[in-house]
Amino acid sequence: MGSLFRRMVGAAKLQVATYEEVEADRKATAQALFIVLLSAVAIMIGDIRPGEVHLIVNLVGGVLGWMTWVLLVWVVGVKLLPEAETRSDVGELIRTTGFAATPGILRVLGIVPMLGWLVVVVAWLWTLAAMVVGVRQALDYKSTWRAVAVCVIGFVGQLLVIYLEWIVLQSALST
């Protein structure tokens, strides 16, 4: 557990060495997935609104959204926009971006009246910065801007997939 907490702190501090460590450690995959799940639960709690009844759907949707984003980032980053040194597999990306989800745990504080929205914004921006570092390290990029571009392209693709899922779900519910 000490290793998990130390790695989470390192990832939150955007320490490149931590991302390199988890990238190389295949045993860290379970830890990374645990962090993603913990972050998704924190976001689910922090985003609770009066009358909300779809908490499990929101939780599952959050995890599936992350998985979709990781897959899109891998395809774009490794197949479409690689640098000469890019050598990566999906597992490396799962581990680095899983640990990069650490700041998202703070989103549980979104339930705090009047201050919660600020914590959510800070945690979201912090998570975004961590994701860029995680992607840069997993894909062996020298350019942070390329990592930013890959993250943005993956995010837009994820939004498109979520929109298409929503259309299918609405269609199914209306029949």
Question: What does the alpha-carbon distance between residue 30 and residue 84 come to, in Å, rounded to a whole number?
Answer: 30
pTM for the structure as a whole: 0.89
Question: What does the alpha-carbon distance between residue 75 and residue 125 come to, in Å, rounded to a whole number?
Answer: 24
| pLDDT tens for each residue of 2-44 | 699 999 999 999 999 999 999 999 999 999 999 999 999 998 8
Q: In 3D, which of 169, 148, 136 has the Cα closest to residue 20?
A: 136
Please compute the mean of the pLDDT values over residues 117-136 and round it to a whole number. 95
Please compute the mean of the pLDDT values over residues 104-119 and round it to a whole number. 93
- Return phi, psi of residue 120, to 5°: -60, -45
Residue 127 has pLDDT above 90, yes or no: yes
Q: In the chain, what percentage of residues exceed pLDDT 70?
A: 96
Residue 98 has pLDDT above 70, yes or no: yes
Residue 170 has pLDDT above 90, yes or no: no
Residue 64 vs residue 98, higher pLDDT: 98
pLDDT at 146: 97
Question: What does the alpha-carbon distance between residue 19 and residue 28 come to, in Å, rounded to a whole number?
Answer: 11
Radius of gyration of the chain (CA): 16
Window from 12-26, 31-45, 125-139, 153-167 with minimum mean pLDDT: 153-167
Cα distances from 38 to residues 98, 144, 149, 163, in angstroms, run: 10, 27, 27, 24
Please compute the mean of the pLDDT values over residues 48-75 and round it to a whole number. 82
Query: Residue 59's pLDDT band (boundaries 50, 70, 90)?
Result: confident
Report DSSP state, residue 113: T
Average pLDDT of the residues of the chain: 91
Residue boundaries of the structural domains of the chain:
2-174
Question: What does the alpha-carbon distance between residue 129 and residue 120 come to, in Å, rounded to a whole number?
Answer: 14
